[in-house]
Structure 1
Amino acid sequence: MEEFEGAWARVRAGGDAVDAAASVLAAAGGDWERAAGGTARNVVREAESRGWQVRDLIRMASRELDPRHERLAHTMQKGKAPFLTPFAQAEKLDRFSAATTFVELLRLYAALPRITPLAPATQAPPPSKMLARIRALLAKAESTGFPEEAEALSAKAQHLMTRHSIDEALLTAAAHGTGTGAGPGARRIGVDRPYEGAKALLLDAVAAANRCESVWSADFGFSTVVGYGTDLEAVELLYTSLLVQADHALHRGTSRSRNFRESFLIGYAGRIRERLAAATERATAETAAPADLLPVLAAREVDVRDATRRMFPTTTTSRLKGRDAEGWRHGEAAADRARF
């Protein structure tokens, strides 16, 4: 173990020592699991102290390395030992190749900078039968071959999202008076290549419609969405569904240029923002709720804005410019057909 720790220290120091460290680990015989496990725990613990969470580390492995590294990241994060031998067997790798993949993954983790930390409890809301029902509706809407059925299922899911959010806000207000309870949380949502800027714009549109705020971290391929638990869940569910629909519409027919595709997604995001804002306003107005509903929702929006400013005191605003008018028009048309 000490020999591998020394080899790993040279990798961390920035030297071109991956092969040497992998050779030492591969030659460790029956001790290679113990050496790998101890080093992995230390590196992951250090990354977590810099604000990275498990799902973030796996996402970065997918973004910066290759699918094999991502699969190893999943295997490691299950927390079970041994992990290196089963990984090598599943991937049909010799010990040196498996050790090389492991060292490259740890080198990525060790190089990650400090980011804004998130409280562990804000990563996922408590289990909810209503949210499970919403997920089931959206999954069925995406799988059906009948557009009318998909539209009805998606509309029902959106209606349930709005009602669930309003019910939660009113219950919390009743329990805490004019306060809003535990306050907003945050979660990171992946924004994948290509056309990350346009996809981040779509996520921001969904977040705004659900009384959340979104801050895009372009270097790391994610946006941090700040809001209350039910609203955060709605944002991720709806963003994922709309992105799937956009992808289907974008790839229908002949291949287009990069400018067309990017402009398509920018136009799509802009029109979705308009549709979602109108839908949220209608749903709120139609909800049978006490007269103090709007002050409660307004108080939550203030809390979300303040929490975002505390987490990200310095942010910049950028604009995306579509370079293909036809792509923009096609994107707006696809957004008009999107179902939520």
Structure 2
Amino acid sequence: MAAQRRDQAEPVPPWWDEQLRDLAATGGNDDPGVLTGWASREGLDRADALRAAVDVLALVESLPPIAVLRPPPGSTGAAIPRAAGTARSGSPMLDRVRALLAKAESTTFPAEAEALTGKAQELIARHSIDEALLAGGAERGDLPGGVRLSTDTPYAGAKALLVQEVAAANRCEAVWSDDLGFATVLGWPADLVAVEVLYTSLLVQATAAMLRGRAERRPGSGRRTKVWDESFLNAFALRIGERLRAATEAATEAAAEAADQAAVESDRLLPVLAARGEAVRERLETLFPGVTRHRLSVRDADGWSSGTSAADRAALDVGGGRKPRQVPGRPDRR
């Protein structure tokens, strides 16, 4: 990938270089030296390195096709940063959100975690509204982008549900590819970054709360740990989604009131948000026609109750559960 980047004609979209940096795959590798350099770093001899490379190529060739979320480098539209699907990763607002969520993850006080996560969602919602109004005043012709978030085992269904809830609260759509181990989130750049940051933090918070709740269970309370954990995480995801959506709705109402008081065209806000939401739904229908709903079952009432309580203590304030969408043709495994 680094060699491909070196040979790629400019301009290259910013997200390409960002992902290479995340993989520590930057540098001026020469084609003949890529495999040799990797083998040396990994302590492999040439035969093992070649075997690994062939195995990887065979795996890649066998993978099923997936939706193309962003124009690849060298193709039409690839160099448009705002259509690429990510917002500016180093913005001051995003730095503040990350700092708030880091504190929420580390605190041992549930009320503090709730306040910190709620403040983070409030900042995100306000920023999203500002971005929407800014984009609504320009003729750009952009399409919503997308990101993929891991929903690996264990409890992949609960993780997919958490992605769905966080996405819905931030005006995005989510589709779960359960056999591939990820959920695809579609939306506008600032909203996609928000979903990615929030999902990562809330997954940490949910896991920590689950482990604490598991330790507090009465000895001999019955159901298997896995069943309890799964019910806990499903309940956590639904309740967090409710609270996130409430924070977003409050921020939208506050923005509309502020526009009224400032004698600004407040009637612009809701149409702009509605138009952006419709564009995301159209993108969903284009990339994933005929998606289905995947039913999640709850088999432990105690786990469900504990998960709901943990979500109430951990992050925001809200209602309304959803089931994660699933790519057509994937069997319901529950």
- TM-score (normalised: structure 1): 0.71
Task: Tell me which residue corresponds to 2:145.
Answer: 185
Larger-gyration structure (1/2): 1
Cα separation, 2, equivalents of 1:298 and 1:264: 34
Cα separation, 2, equivalents of 1:116 and 1:94: 37
Change (3 A) 1:77 1:191: farther
Of 289, 303, 307, 2:279 maps to 303
Task: Tell me which residue corresponds to 2:29.
Answer: 80
Q: Is the 8 A contact 2:113 2:313 kept in 1?
A: no
Change (3 A) 1:107 1:123: farther
Query: Per-residue deviation at 1:146?
Result: 5.8
Q: Is the 8 A contact 1:54 1:77 kept in 2?
A: no
Select the structure with the greater relative contact order (CA < 8 A; seq sep ≥ 6). 2
Task: Tell me which residue corresponds to 2:163.
Answer: 203
Task: Tell me which residue corresponds to 2:254.
Answer: 286
Task: Tell me which residue corresponds to 1:226.
Answer: 186
Task: Tell me which residue corresponds to 1:30.
Answer: none
Q: 140-149 vs 326-335, which deviates more?
A: 140-149
Residue type at the aligned position of 1:323: R
Of 212, 216, 234, 1:266 maps to 234
Q: Root-mean-square deviation (CA), in Å?
A: 3.1
Cα separation, 1, equivalents of 2:24 and 2:129: 39
Cα separation, 2, equivalents of 1:188 and 1:262: 22
* Structure 1 residue 122 corresponds to structure 2 residue 84: yes
Task: Tell me which residue corresponds to 2:130.
Answer: 167
Identity between Structure 1 and Structure 2 (%): 53
Query: Per-residue deviation at 1:162?
Result: 0.9
* Structure 1 residue 237 corresponds to structure 2 residue 194: no
Q: Is the 8 A contact 2:228 2:299 kept in 1?
A: yes
Alignment of 1:92-111 (within 5 A): 92-111=43-62
Task: Tell me which residue corresponds to 2:312.
Answer: 336
Task: Tell me which residue corresponds to 1:133.
Answer: 96
- Report Cα offsets for 1:54-96 as digits up to 9, x if no partner: 89x99xxxxxxxxxxxxxx946686734333343333333333
Query: Per-residue deviation at 1:153?
Result: 3.6
Q: Structure 1: which 5+ runs fail to align?
A: 1-36, 46-52, 59-72
SS at match of 1:186: strand
SS at match of 1:223: strand
Corresponding residue pairs, total: 275
Cα separation, 2, equivalents of 1:172 and 1:111: 40
Residue type at the aligned position of 1:215: V
Cα separation, 2, equivalents of 1:54 and 1:194: 30
Cα separation, 1, equivalents of 2:85 and 2:279: 18
Query: Per-residue deviation at 1:138?
Result: 2.4
- Report Cα offsets for 1:235-263 as digits up to 9, x if no partner: 11111111010111112253962111111
Cα separation, 2, equivalents of 1:89 and 1:75: 15
Cα separation, 2, equivalents of 1:292 and 1:145: 42
Cα separation, 1, equivalents of 2:58 and 2:27: 19
Residue type at the aligned position of 1:227: G
